[in-house]
Amino acid sequence: MDDTERLNVSGTHHPLLALGPGARLGIWVQGCGLACPGCMSRHTWDPAGGTRVPVADLLALWQRALEQGASGLTVSGGEPCDQPAGLRALLQGADELRRAPTARPAPDGGAPDLLVYTGYEEHELSDGRRAALGPADAVVTGRFRVAEPTDLVWRGSANQRLTPRTELGRSRYAPHLTRVRSPRDVGLQVEVDRRALDGTWPLRLYGIPRRGDLAAWEREGARRGLPVSMPSWRP
Ligand code: SF4
């Protein structure tokens, strides 16, 4: 495992319930040049933002999540494949830790899985980017296209493909490839960032909103006298 690498990171969260099966560790990288119109995560675009985190620190989070029975790791962004060395080190290290004899299985009895979101289409993945995906069990590929809404679980637009890459990925994700979101799925997970000390209530939204959800949020906030300021989905 190469844990001397760093990854420019926008944020992390555990337990993440809205991007992949079960309760997961989520890692969002910083930097994306694909600029999809309608992207809800514009705050992750600037490659000069974020925090350069040693992969070893991210793996410590993964180790803790495994000890707490995490079902898997989801890496999103930002664009993970634009940091191929860091992504590769992260996934290789995460793979080794989940295989350790002391590692706990996921709640379904299988190993915790590794899921990566990339805005690149499958055919756009260069050899280097493909190699960076390393032991990822499943990958969601494709730009977010605001004009192509979908109810497919864990995808933001109908063009995006969920592709298993390993035996574990095939067994765990097969039931979800064409499954549409049900009321039991967590579509959008809302967390309050309690570190704010200035009287504001920074909200972090994890997952994939349905079309109109974010505008409805803003309307409801305004109606209650709690206007949403600086949303990450506005220029
Ligand atoms: S949707 Fe994803 S790929 Fe598209 S601009 Fe946003 S972060 Fe980048």
Q: What residue has token string 């690498």?
A: 5
Given a contact cutoff of 8 angstroms between Cβ atoms, the answer to whether 207 and 189 are in contact is: yes
The model's pTM is 0.93
Within this chain, do residues 99 and 78 fall inside the same structural domain, yes or no? yes
**What local confidence, expressed as pLDDT, does residue 195 receive?**
64
Atom of ligand 1 minimally distant from the CA of 118 = 3
**What local confidence, expressed as pLDDT, does residue 126 receive?**
93
Q: Is the pLDDT of residue 202 over 90?
A: no
**What local confidence, expressed as pLDDT, does residue 147 receive?**
95
**What local confidence, expressed as pLDDT, does residue 5 receive?**
94
**58 CB burial (10 A radius; 0-12, 13-18, 19+):** buried
**26 CB burial (10 A radius; 0-12, 13-18, 19+):** buried
Rounded CA separation 76/213 (Å): 21
Distance 79 CA to ligand 1 centre (A): 7
DSSP state letters, 151-175:
-BTT-SSTT-EEEE-SHHHHHHHGG
Is residue 78 lining ligand 1, measured as CB closer than 6 Å?
yes
Is residue 80 lining ligand 1, measured as CB closer than 6 Å?
no
Distance 77 CA to ligand 1 centre (A): 7
**pLDDT confidence band for 231 (50 / 70 / 90):** confident
Is residue 41 lining ligand 1, measured as CB closer than 6 Å?
yes
Within this chain, do residues 159 and 61 fall inside the same structural domain, yes or no? yes
Query: Hey, is 54 helix, strand or coil?
Result: strand
Within this chain, do residues 59 and 134 fall inside the same structural domain, yes or no? yes
Indicate whether 73 belongs to any domain: yes
Looking at residue 103, the DSSP 8-state letter turns out to be P
Q: Is the pLDDT of residue 234 over 90?
A: no
**pLDDT confidence band for 197 (50 / 70 / 90):** low
Within this chain, do residues 81 and 43 fall inside the same structural domain, yes or no? yes
What is the rounded average pLDDT of the residues 145-174? Answer: 97
Distance 168 CA to ligand 1 centre (A): 27
Within this chain, do residues 109 and 165 fall inside the same structural domain, yes or no? yes
Average pLDDT over all residues of the chain: 92
Whole domain around residue 200: which residue ranges?
Answer: 188-223
Indicate whether 205 belongs to any domain: yes
Indicate whether 230 belongs to any domain: no
Q: Higher model confidence: residue 39 or residue 212?
A: 39
Q: Is the pLDDT of residue 7 over 70?
A: yes
Within this chain, do residues 167 and 195 fall inside the same structural domain, yes or no? no
Is residue 10 lining ligand 1, measured as CB closer than 6 Å?
no
Within this chain, do residues 77 and 112 fall inside the same structural domain, yes or no? yes
Atom of ligand 1 minimally distant from the CA of 35 = 5
Is residue 86 lining ligand 1, measured as CB closer than 6 Å?
no
**What local confidence, expressed as pLDDT, does residue 196 receive?**
58
Indicate whether 1 belongs to any domain: no
What is the rounded average pLDDT of the residues 10-24? Answer: 97
Within this chain, do residues 27 and 108 fall inside the same structural domain, yes or no? yes
Q: What is the CATH number of the domain that holds 146?
A: 3.20.20.70
Within this chain, do residues 132 and 192 fall inside the same structural domain, yes or no? no
Within this chain, do residues 146 and 40 fall inside the same structural domain, yes or no? yes
**Of the listed ranges 18-27, 90-99, 140-149, 204-213, the one predicted with least confidence:** 204-213
Q: Rounded to the nearest 5°, which phi and psi values hold at 66? A: -60, -40
Within this chain, do residues 70 and 116 fall inside the same structural domain, yes or no? yes
What is the rounded average pLDDT of the residues 138-164? Answer: 97
Is residue 29 lining ligand 1, measured as CB closer than 6 Å?
no
Rounded CA separation 110/41 (Å): 32
Q: Is the pLDDT of residue 114 over 70?
A: yes
Q: Rounded to the nearest 5°, which phi and psi values hold at 144? A: -80, 125
Within this chain, do residues 104 and 142 fall inside the same structural domain, yes or no? yes
Indicate whether 97 belongs to any domain: yes
Neighbours of 32 (CB within 10 A): 23
Give pLDDT tens digits for 41-56: 999 999 999 999 999 9
Number of domains in the chain: 2
Q: Is the pLDDT of residue 198 over 70?
A: no
